[in-house]
Amino acid sequence: MGHGNWREGEGVFKCPEDQLPLDYAKIYPDPELEQQILGLTIRCIHSEEGCRWTGQVKQLQGHFSTCAYNVIPCPNRCLAKLTRRDLPGHLQHDCSKRRMRCEHCAGDFTGQAYEDHQGTCPQESVYCENKCGARMLRRLLTQHSATECPKRTQPCRHCGKEFVWDTLQNHQFHCPRFPVPCPRKCGVVSVAREDLAAHMRDGCGSILVLCPFREAGCKHRCSKVAMGHHLENMAKAHLTLMCGLVSRQRQEILELRRQVEELSSGRVGTLVWKLCDYTRRLAEARQRGNLECLSPAFYSHRYGYRLQASAFLDGNGSGEGTHLSVYIRVLPGEYDSLLEWPFPCRVTFSLLDQSDPSISKPQHITETFSPDPNWKNFQRPQAGGSRASRDSMDESTLGFGYPKFISHEEIRKRNYIRDDAIFLKVSIELPQKIIA
CATH tag for 24-92 (out of 3.40.50.720, 3.30.1510.10, 3.90.550.10, 3.30.40.10): 3.30.40.10
Q: Which residues contact 204 (CB under 8 A, 6 or more apart)?
A: 182, 184, 186, 188, 224
Taking residues 192-207, report their average pLDDT: 71
pLDDT at 299: 92
Average pLDDT over residues 212-231: 82
pLDDT at 395 over 70: no
Q: CA quadruple 226, 232, 234, 240: dihedral positive or negative? A: positive
147 vs 135, more confident: 135
pLDDT at 341 over 90: yes
Which segments within 64-141 are labelled E, that is strand?
71-73, 81-83, 99-101, 108-110, 125-127, 135-137
What CATH number belongs to 267-376+398-429?
A: 2.60.210.10
pLDDT over 50 at 3, yes or no: no
Query: How many other β-carbons are positioned within 10 Å of the β-carbon of residue 89?
Result: 11
Could you give the CA distance from residue 105 to residue 121 in angstroms, rounded to a whole number?
Answer: 7
Whole-model pTM over 0.95: no
**In the chain, where the domains are located:** 24-92, 267-376+398-429
Mean pLDDT of the chain: 83
Is-same-fold flag (24-92; 267-376+398-429)? no
State the Cα–Cα distance between residues 263 and 306, nearest whole angstrom: 12
The alpha carbons of the chain give a radius of gyration, in whole angstroms, of 64
